[in-house]
Structure 1
Amino acid sequence: MITPRTIDDISSILTQVTQIGDMSSEAFSDFDTDLVAPVLEEAGKLCMDVLAPLNQPGDKTGARLESGQVYSAPGFKDAYKAFQEGGWMGMPFPEAFGGQGLPRTLAVAVMEMVQASNMSFSLCPMLSFGAIEALLEHGSEEQKALYLPKLISGEWTGTMNLTEPQAGSDVGALKTKAVPNDDGSYAITGQKIYITWGDHDLTDNIVHLVLARLPDAPSGSRGISLFLCPKYLPDANGEAGERNGVTCIGLEHKLGVHASPTCVMEYDGAKGWLIGEPNKGLAAMFTMMNSARLQVGIQGLAQSEAAYRVARDFAAERKQGRAEGVEGSAPIINHPDVQHMLLQMRARTMAARAICYECAKSSDMSVGGSEADERKLAKEVEEILTPIAKSWSTDVGVLSASLGVQIHGGLGFMGETLASQLYRDARIAPIYEGTNGIQAIDLATRKLGLSGGEAIPRLLASFEAKCSELEASGDADLKRVAAHLAAGIKALQDVTSWMKETDMDTRLFGATAYQEMFGRVAGVTYLARGAMSAKDAGSNSAADLVGLALFLSETDLGDIAGWAVRVRSGEAMDRQKRMDLLS
């Protein structure tokens, strides 16, 4: 669910916090900040008029499987046609393949609106984003020419086929085989599970990107390759032709996102083509995964936004008890406890939005920056923020959805409410595309060592500089934010140094707490930066940004010292003590 106020908040973060206007450069020659408002307005019409009305009916109906063909929930096919014809799929992709060449930052803002309106629907284009980026980076010129125009236009959709029954996050344990054919293709045989939108009736073809092993492949993750395997083999004109040997043999029964078909896919000698080099599939997989991780972070943010709007509207109407200054029975939005819950939801939503958009902007600038050093530093920030955007935002989505149920009271626990659906839908996001624990491991190991261990301290130093600007701003509320933020940054710097020196087991025991600390500090920093920008520009959003930054600095940074203790908790409880307690 989105509202016109949602669009205002998105615009505020894009323009004041993320400062998307900085990207009106040679790299994005067709982009101008004047595009932001009309793009968001048109996307809002699609979301509010087409996608949102299908959300609850789709949850009740779901997709169905008949004779190896998956049929989407009623209305989804027409909705996808509207999405495709609107050109929404191609926004951030090269014009050479039919895209619009616009910043990824603006595209993820649009996808947030789509995801907030109908998460089940949004998962279909989300997977296509990853497939397109993998082909752009790793595909052959022939593969790009044949498949990218169809994927970027939305005429065909893409999937990621990674997981197998015996191999969840451990992709190195996969067993799907790829045997060379005489014509340069490969015969792919095996089974994949949890394949989101692995089959459907929305488009004429589906392009599966499949991890498999060559006959002479090394064991483990070093021996996996990536293959392109379409549902229908393209004919001489590049159109969907003969059916390939890939079939959906089952649909998973899930806690939420019922209208998104999660498929068990059977490959029986299906014809596929190698993407990139043999046994180098891991690099291509991570191209898909990193794209998906930011998109899933946006998804968590979107569910938080939807939960807030639903809960806020309910609280404004639901009357119960008495409140100061209100005659008679008061709408529950007047009760301080409800106000506190709603403020948590809105403030954390805005902070998550700021983190995700900053990650997207860094991705844009890592390829579009005018100087090599600018591109290098932007890539560092993207690398650091990706696990935080994915994990912190999806945790916020679950928290906000839970608070939304709480605000609805007993009614929120009833299955017919949107509040309960949002809670069920949001719960998957911390799990897939690398669980949030895996994101914490990534942050505390690979990202901690990025650029010789200097990347994270460099980012924290930029936070520190921004904090000094807040202190010098002359605004009493921003000075108060600065005091809390300074303490938070110092605590995060201290545990960062400690993590570099401690043993790996102790470090990983505190990794999730470290990730939480990082998200809190980053969220307040970005909101406060936007608040200063908005005040300087005389923007109507200034008061909101200042107030929300202040609220989060008091709440999410108020207990930052306790989180630092949690990061170090492995010192007091070594591995053996933990295992003994788990007996």
Structure 2
Amino acid sequence: MDYVAPSAEQILALHVSAGIEELAAHQRFAAADAELVGAIVEGIGAFAAGEWAPLNRVGDTEGAVARGGEVSLPAGFREAYAAYVEQGWNAIAGPTAFGGQGLPFALACCVLENLGAANMAFTLLPMLTVGAIEALDHHGSDAQKALYLEKLVSGAWSGTMNLTEPQAGSDVGALRATATPITEGPHAGKHRIKATKIFITWGEHDLAENIIHLVLARTPGAPAGSRGVSLFVVPKYHVEADGSLGARNDVRVVSIEHKLGIHASPTCVMSFGDDDDCIGELVGPEHGGLRAMFTMMNSARINIGSQGVQIAQAALQQAMAYARDRVQSVRAGAADRTPVAIIEHPDVRRMLLRMRGLTEGARALLYYTAGQVDRGSLGQAGAAARADLLVPILKAWATDIGCEVASLGIQIHGGIGYVEETGAAQYYRDARIAPIYEGTNGIQAADLVTRKLAMEGGAVLAALMAQIGADCAEEANLAALASECAAIGVWMRTEGSLDDRLAGSVPFLTMCAVAVAGWQLLLQSRAVRGAQGSIAQTKPIVARWFLDHLVPEAMGHAAAARGGYALLAGLNAELLAS
């Protein structure tokens, strides 16, 4: 199937949900006028369809290959990545001081959305680099920025995030990686890194000139737990003072994982310091690593949420194409007994409309979140806090949506969808990782009901839900959902125990996500009134279906959100597992 970028949908989401015109009114983003925005959206859509989509299937069937400490990709990947760098797509939102275009983050989200819908596994490469840029830009020294950022911004070098260790999993505070200060010699002032890191996305490959690893490790005498973690920049090749590449650092890939999906994304076991000569440099203050890494992780979590949209869009397109072409059975109740395309059957239409409503709702939530990030960067009151609130909601709900839509895509194909040759199964396999990495969706829900719900004494959530209620007063279902989200938030903060909050965290997150997505779809449907083109016809129907079907469905989660922990504790571990 050929990928076709949903450019009209993306431009509408940028206009309504991200508020791109309002952002362009600020001097910092003045270049993001309507003409440039349209050119970027159309341009990246064409690039993704022409350069990255054709590699999606070969990336899945052949995958990344590790041999002798090197990782290679199938034919075509190197050329496609070189074209991506040459055309400047990696630099869209990068800092202008280091060759970036300094455009809104929302536009960079559009770039990654198109690339990921065309080829999700490939898109993990630039996605991690974006996070490395943010971490160094916010926490690196001037010398580190000068040495690394220009090449990272262009994409000539790629970046990685090295947190996970075999014994630690999601518990970053349990890591054992060490960083020993060097007091003399050419590397004085730096550290020798000793570590084994697992699940390192694009930790080794042959597409970029250098790979800049950001590694969490402990210095001697560091406090226990996450308070004792520091962040280090560890290049694959040493970088000389003039920016040229030097000798290979003592970093190597041990193996790559054989995974359910995203086969073209090498998920690496990385070893640092096998020969006791891995050199790293401290980023930010000692023991300040977790704060610096969270900058990278927040960026990644938004972009992982985008992956839910990406895979949903790809699965939706394939399902729509199949449903239009597949002729099977007479339509129930029709006088004409001629078999029709399955898109005419009511249950197939139900599934297709659900897929479309979920995909467009998740996209609306993505671009609304991105717009709040941009407003926060401009210092707009309340925007940064609202973005922080939305990050776990977006990451968890959108990735769950990606899995559901991909699963429905297989269902629409019927038995042939379960056969690998159709490609429908790849979307489901690729999608399944997104609710797991960058903090499982349960961790995102826990973050929402603990740290995020407590922000400003609950005022951040309350203000968001109040705004939804005011904007959607004529939509009784949506207004009631927003009101219930606010009420549950109060109950969780003031009455529910920590166990109660955690027990209800996932259904509560789902309710909040649907409330925000429904609100944004309603605003989008209002914006297309009187407009030209098919979107003026499709958007009101999709939004109405979302409001009439998904919003009441989300309200049904209220009992579980308030259900508390008592029933979950009714069986001890032995009986529960019996």
TM-score between both structures, scaled by the size of structure 1: 0.95
Residue 286 of structure 1 aligns with an amino acid whose one-letter code is F
Matches within 5 A, 1:440-459: 440-459=445-464
Residue 200 of structure 1 aligns with an amino acid whose one-letter code is H
* Contact 1:505/1:575 (8 A) holds in 2: no
1:328 and 2:328 matched: no
Task: Please state how far the C-alpha of 1:212 moved relative to its aligned partner.
Answer: 0.4
d(CA) in 2 for partners of 1:327, 1:194: 55
Range that drifts further, 81-90 or 35-44: 35-44
1:75 and 2:76 matched: yes
User: What's the CA shift string for 1:155-180, capped at 9, x where partnerless?
Assistant: 10000011000011101010011001
**Structure-2 residue corresponding to 1:478:** none
* Contact 1:289/1:433 (8 A) holds in 2: yes
**Structure 1 residues 305, 578: closer, same or farther in 2, change over 3 A?**
farther
DSSP 3-state at the match of 1:44: helix
**Structure 1 residues 411, 537: closer, same or farther in 2, change over 3 A?**
closer
**Structure-2 residue corresponding to 1:491:** 484
d(CA) in 2 for partners of 1:547, 1:290: 33
* Contact 1:235/1:242 (8 A) holds in 2: no
1:159 and 2:160 matched: yes
Matches within 5 A, 1:127-276: 127-182=128-183, 183-268=188-273, 269=276, 270-276=278-284
DSSP 3-state at the match of 2:196: strand
Structure 1 portions without partners, runs of 5+: 370-374, 472-481
Matches within 5 A, 1:183-582: 183-268=188-273, 269=276, 270-323=278-331, 324=334, 328-369=338-379, 375-468=380-473, 471=474, 482-500=475-493, 501-535=495-529, 541-570=535-564, 573=567, 575-577=569-571, 579=573, 580-582=575-577
d(CA) in 2 for partners of 1:155, 1:560: 44
* Contact 2:503/2:565 (8 A) holds in 1: no
**Structure 1 residues 17, 288: closer, same or farther in 2, change over 3 A?**
closer
**Structure 1 residues 45, 536: closer, same or farther in 2, change over 3 A?**
closer
d(CA) in 2 for partners of 1:443, 1:319: 46
Residue 46 of structure 1 aligns with an amino acid whose one-letter code is F
d(CA) in 1 for partners of 2:465, 2:378: 23
1:105 and 2:115 matched: no
**Structure-1 residue corresponding to 2:19:** 19
**Structure 1 residues 5, 49: closer, same or farther in 2, change over 3 A?**
closer
Residue 66 of structure 2 aligns with an amino acid whose one-letter code is L
* Contact 1:227/1:272 (8 A) holds in 2: yes
Q: How many residues align?
A: 566
Residue 494 of structure 1 aligns with an amino acid whose one-letter code is A
d(CA) in 1 for partners of 2:251, 2:464: 46
Task: Please state how far the C-alpha of 1:544 moved relative to its aligned partner.
Answer: 2.2
Residue 69 of structure 1 aligns with an amino acid whose one-letter code is E
* Contact 1:384/1:447 (8 A) holds in 2: yes
Task: Please state how far the C-alpha of 1:575 moved relative to its aligned partner.
Answer: 2.5
**Structure 1 residues 572, 216: closer, same or farther in 2, change over 3 A?**
closer
d(CA) in 1 for partners of 2:306, 2:98: 25
DSSP 3-state at the match of 2:189: coil
**Structure 1 residues 304, 578: closer, same or farther in 2, change over 3 A?**
farther
1:126 and 2:120 matched: no
DSSP 3-state at the match of 1:437: helix
Task: Please state how far the C-alpha of 1:236 moved relative to its aligned partner.
Answer: 3.8
* Contact 2:147/2:241 (8 A) holds in 1: no
Task: Please state how far the C-alpha of 1:361 moved relative to its aligned partner.
Answer: 0.7
* Contact 1:16/1:531 (8 A) holds in 2: no
User: What's the CA shift string for 1:25-45, capped at 9, x where partnerless?
Assistant: 212122212212211111112
Residue 135 of structure 2 aligns with an amino acid whose one-letter code is A
* Contact 1:2/1:113 (8 A) holds in 2: no
Structure 2 portions without partners, runs of 5+: none
**Structure 1 residues 333, 380: closer, same or farther in 2, change over 3 A?**
same
* Contact 2:3/2:53 (8 A) holds in 1: no
**Structure 1 residues 219, 326: closer, same or farther in 2, change over 3 A?**
farther
d(CA) in 2 for partners of 1:94, 1:364: 13
Residue 345 of structure 2 aligns with an amino acid whose one-letter code is H
User: What's the CA shift string for 1:351-377, capped at 9, x where partnerless?
Assistant: 1001111111101111125xxxxx231
Task: Please state how far the C-alpha of 1:542 moved relative to its aligned partner.
Answer: 3.5
DSSP 3-state at the match of 2:439: coil
Task: Please state how far the C-alpha of 1:558 moved relative to its aligned partner.
Answer: 1.9
**Structure-1 residue corresponding to 2:65:** 64
**Structure-2 residue corresponding to 1:372:** none
* Contact 1:2/1:305 (8 A) holds in 2: no
Residue 562 of structure 1 aligns with an amino acid whose one-letter code is G
**Structure 1 residues 3, 117: closer, same or farther in 2, change over 3 A?**
closer
Task: Please state how far the C-alpha of 1:237 moved relative to its aligned partner.
Answer: 2.4
d(CA) in 2 for partners of 1:235, 1:376: 42
d(CA) in 2 for partners of 1:557, 1:297: 20
User: What's the CA shift string for 1:482-519, capped at 9, x where partnerless?
Assistant: 12112212221221121112111011001001001111
d(CA) in 2 for partners of 1:42, 1:194: 33
Task: Please state how far the C-alpha of 1:120 moved relative to its aligned partner.
Answer: 1.1
* Contact 2:5/2:46 (8 A) holds in 1: no
Task: Please state how far the C-alpha of 1:536 moved relative to its aligned partner.
Answer: 6.7
Q: Once superposed, what is the RMSD of the aligned Cα atoms? A: 1.5
Task: Please state how far the C-alpha of 1:9 moved relative to its aligned partner.
Answer: 1.5
**Structure 1 residues 538, 462: closer, same or farther in 2, change over 3 A?**
farther
Residue 356 of structure 2 aligns with an amino acid whose one-letter code is R
Residue 517 of structure 2 aligns with an amino acid whose one-letter code is G
DSSP 3-state at the match of 1:101: coil
* Contact 1:17/1:526 (8 A) holds in 2: yes
